[in-house]
Amino acid sequence: MPVFKDLASAIKSYNSETPEEEFAAFVDRILLVPEKRDLLVRLLPEQHPLYKNRGTNQVIRMRGYILAAFEQVGLPKDALVYVLQELESSRKAYSVAAAAKALRGMENPSIQVVPFLLKAIRNIWGMDDGISFASYKPKGALKDYTTALNEIFTTFQWLGAYAKVAIAQLEQLRDGKLNHINSDIKLQLEKAIYCIKEDNRNVMDSCCDYSFLSNSTNCLNTHTSEIDVSELTLEDQNGQKLAFNKFFHRAPTIVAFFYTRCDNPNKCSLTITRLVQLQEALA
């Protein structure tokens, strides 16, 4: 493992040429100095140079490895938005499992994360897989493996009384057809229901209040401030540049950014579907 004398300086040089092994060694080093956990948050934005030109699976593995580390070092508030985004929209077992683990690094449980965990169950159902966070890119057959559903139900156990609002849905899930999931996951689900019911703590926070999020997570709010986009310059698929105020001035206009190769039905493809629905509604 490389020795990092200055951890903050180390990540400043990270880019598309940084070997995955060096990145993983850095994350492992933070596990030994949890007071430096905020440095990991700097590596979470998908726009970071570290992820440029890397494959989708590489990026999922790298960011997931960071998220999973927060279970041990503690979850900074600035990282919470990334965790909730993965639970809300990801359909990759590695990402969902890592996010569920990260929540257990919160300073205190919160009822407000429950809707995201329930959404994650729906997202990953039928798409779960065996994974391991024991090391980065473990070789050979997985011995001490987990799954996304296993990590979600383990987090419900950790939440206890803070997840009482989820009891009805978890019991409905338990009483449904679970033939296609293994006995270990069924056991974790049963244990989650038991832990929630037997926890007598008095929970006061509201499931509809996102005030526990830091200022950096404002992207989760439904209200956004208005900005003047008339001076923006855009570039189309042919490389032609155009001024927003000169091209879009005769009808209601929305500009959406998406990846044409995105395979997540909860992200880019859903964005385009909603644009079409909006266009039809306007017509």
Question: Model's pTM, two decimal places?
Answer: 0.77
Residue 153 has pLDDT above 50, yes or no: yes
Q: What is the pLDDT of residue 110?
A: 94
267 CB-contact burial (10 Å; exposed 0-12 / middle 13-18 / buried 19+): middle
Integer Cα distance of 243 and 230 in angstroms:
8
Q: What's the average model confidence in pLDDT over 106-121?
A: 95
Q: Is 210 exposed, middle or buried (0-12, 13-18, 19+ CB in 10 A)?
A: middle
The pLDDT confidence band at residue 142, using thresholds 50, 70 and 90, is: low
Q: What mean pLDDT do residues 45-51 have? A: 92
The 10s digit of each residue's pLDDT in 199-215 is 999 887 655 444 555 44
Q: What is the CA radius of gyration of the chain?
A: 21
The single-letter DSSP state of residue 179 is T
Lowest mean pLDDT among 16-30, 82-96, 147-161, 203-217: 203-217
pLDDT digits 0-9 by tens, 216-275: 444 444 444 566 777 788 887 788 888 888 888 777 888 787 777 676 777 788 888 888
Average pLDDT over residues 128-142: 85
Q: What is the model's pLDDT at position 217?
A: 44
